[in-house]
Structure 1
Amino acid sequence: MWETMKKKNISQYQLLKQGIDNKTLDSLKKRKNITLITLGKLCQILDCTPSDIVTFHYDKL
């Protein structure tokens, strides 16, 4: 997600202004779970698809 934000020149502040809260940003930084609703909001804000934001590591499941 951070790479996508950088490519699209979108800051954390802009995410906050569009409804993504600090707790969610902190969870993302710590690689914790987020809801699908949050993923959808991020995709809408960043104008991207989920695969531009998340990756799955099957060895950790």
Structure 2
Amino acid sequence: MISYAPLFKTMADNNISSYALFKQGFPKATYHSIRQGNSVSTNTINMLCKILKCPISDIIEYIDEDNEPLL
């Protein structure tokens, strides 16, 4: 599962509000979709990295929900 917890931690650590993202051109609907845990495009991740000046690992993380192999 992909988690956006690092995004919200990065925002909090840097005192960046959702309003600050919106002022930089980040779509409100996309932000609210992320808050609900919905998937987003790599373009969205790229935009967040650019706005926040951070690596991808500060935006998303993978959490293994089970230990079973995929194949």
Short-chain TM bin: 0.7 to 0.9
TM-score, length-normalised on structure 1?
0.88
Question: Aligned residue for 2:38?
Answer: 32
- Of structures 1 and 2, the one scoring higher in RCO (CA 8 A, sep 6+) is 2
Would you tell me which structure has more helix in proportion to its own residues? 1
- Tell me the distance in 2 between the aligned counterparts of 1:42 and 1:30: 17
The CA RMSD measured in Å over matched residues stands at 1.6
**Ranges in structure 2 where 5+ consecutive residues have no aligned partner:** 1-6
Would you tell me which structure has more strand in proportion to its own residues? 2
Offset, 1:43: 0.6
Offset, 1:58: 3.3
**Percent of matched pairs sharing the same residue:** 36
TM-score, length-normalised on structure 2?
0.77
CA radius of gyration, larger in: 2
Count matched residues: 61
